[in-house]
Structure 1
Amino acid sequence: MNSRKEQLEAIDRLLTIMDELREQCPWDKKQTMQSLRHLTIEETYELGDAILDNDLNEVKLELGDVLLHIMFYAKIGSETNDFDIADVANAICDKLVNRHPHIYGDVKVIDAEDVKRNWEQIKLKEGKKSVLEGVPRSLPALVKANRIQDKVSGVGFDWEEPQQVFEKVKEELEELQDEVKAGNKEKIEAEFGDVLFSMINYARFLGVNPENALERTNKKFIKRFQYLETKAQEIGKVMNDMSLEEMDVYWNEAKTKE
């Protein structure tokens, strides 16, 4: 692994390249924070894919893309004299020191849950009016639900046992079925949302990240379905003309190859 000196030299090299690109490249020169925003989100998702695939070389490359975006925003900030990369780094350093009094102060903690509770309480002392202020509005709904539940748990608003949460899941499913029978579309949607929210909460109690779990299932489904498509082509059939029984044969065959 690289020494601290080599790591700092690499960061300095990237800063220099960023300066040069901003001065000389027509594309880089015209970028703004607003124009970069959607690209940053895309790069973050690509990093997430690499992590799910456990492709460490790809993780390294995608981290580079994300780091470039951080440098880019800091460079733009420096051009308006609002902030530069040192301000960005110092801001997070100050935040980490302040929010880890068990390391940089005299607070005692027993485990990670203590740390999380302290973290949320410190944020409130910093001026936040709600523990939910830190949940981005633009997060996908599933991820947002998970973050909401995690944050309120940090201030003690939570169930005590996984079984309690599972009972809540069953209760919400029953309420959904009642509305399905009644046929009220608006209430069905509301109850369906409650079911999803309770399932996400249950996942948290089981130590499962619901976003990762669902994405793994997405990938598994895609792989199996594409196997089915390939087999249909091999036997010269269009999938619309295949029976469910025929499809099921190849679907099960795909499962055995995982």
Structure 2
Amino acid sequence: MNRPGSDERAWSRFLSVVEALRGENGCPWDKEQTYESLTKYVLEEANELVSAALEKDVAKLKEELGDLMLEVGLYCQIAKERGDFSPADVLEGITEKLVRRHPHVFGDETLKTPDEVRERWAEIKREEPGRYRQGHSLMDEVQKGLPALMQAEKQQSLAAEVGFDWDSAEPVFSKVEEELREVKDAALKGEPDALRAEVGDLLYACVNLARKLGVSAETALLGAIDKFSARFRQMEEELRRRGLDMKEQGLEYLDSLWEQAKNREKGELD
């Protein structure tokens, strides 16, 4: 349990350290950073944070949150030096946004379900003055720096906010089956450009299905990647134990090792 005021003191000390890092006698690396140069580190730290969260590693999660906060602190300090904005401006901005977009918490409105909250959030966002320039498209809100699966999910969610969406998941199952048939047709015809386009449509439909089922496609795929990695590592370990080279084994044998790893995984979950 934190002592009263400890969060404020820790935040103040953190900002002071970041300021010193970019000060006259600070660190050469920190001093040379810019808005642009920090982008790759933000992405790297955000991905490491996601990994820690998916692994449910609390100690690593705490560390990665700190690493990501360093990038936030550096951005705030650079902005302060340039006269663009201050750390207080950032905190006040997000605080006001949270209060404004949660009228069911800080106002008189009543919103009982997460879906109602999401719809009201989007409505308030659209009503905010100066948010959208003339000729603005909802698709402008999809950040190109996001992973492709997240871009697709964001597009679909934005379209859904204005009513352009399937009523339920059922027709999306049919859409996935339709896109899979078109992939098969393009593959049989040997048309590379058409095949690439159809595979893209299939992936897009799968993201839409995941969204309608309440599943994050990005998180689901990361989970599948981790699962494959864990099982493959078990296969490698078993082959090393037996003194065998994986490349010299047939698919049938490797498949049996895969099933063993899969069964061990199920046993651990039972």
Asked whether the two chains share a fold, i.e. TM above 0.5, the reply is: yes
The Cα shift of 1:64 comes to: 0.9
1:5 alignment counterpart: 5
1:20 alignment counterpart: 20
The Cα shift of 1:253 comes to: 1.6
2:71 alignment counterpart: 69
The Cα shift of 1:173 comes to: 1.4
234, 238, 246: which one pairs with 1:231? Answer: 238
**Which range moved further: 169-178 or 118-127?**
118-127
Classify the secondary structure of the residue corresponding to 2:164: coil
Distance 1:45 1:112 in 2: 26
For 1:184-199, list aligned pairs within 5 A: 184-199=191-206
Q: Does 1:103 pair with 2:105? A: yes
Q: Does 1:211 pair with 2:218? A: yes
CA offsets 1:212-256 (integer angstroms, 9 cap, x no match): 111111111112112222222232322221111221222122112
Distance 1:164 1:142 in 2: 20
Distance change >3 Å, CA 133–CA 104, structure 1 → 2: farther
Classify the secondary structure of the residue corresponding to 1:82: coil
1:161 alignment counterpart: 168
Q: How many residues align?
A: 258
The Cα shift of 1:104 comes to: 3.7
Classify the secondary structure of the residue corresponding to 2:22: helix
Identity of aligned residues (%): 40
Unaligned 5+ segments in structure 2 are 266-270
1:242 alignment counterpart: 249
162, 172, 181: which one pairs with 2:188? Answer: 181
58, 61, 68: which one pairs with 1:59? Answer: 61
CA offsets 1:85-133 (integer angstroms, 9 cap, x no match): 0011111122223323333444443422222222223323333223332
Distance 1:251 1:112 in 2: 40
Classify the secondary structure of the residue corresponding to 1:34: coil
CA contact (8 A) 1:120 1:131 kept: no
Q: Does 1:140 pair with 2:142? A: no
TM-score scaled to structure 1, two decimals? 0.93
Q: Does 1:46 pair with 2:48? A: yes
Amino acid at match of 1:99: R
TM-score scaled to structure 2, two decimals? 0.89
The Cα shift of 1:3 comes to: 4.2
Amino acid at match of 1:130: S
Unaligned 5+ segments in structure 1 are none
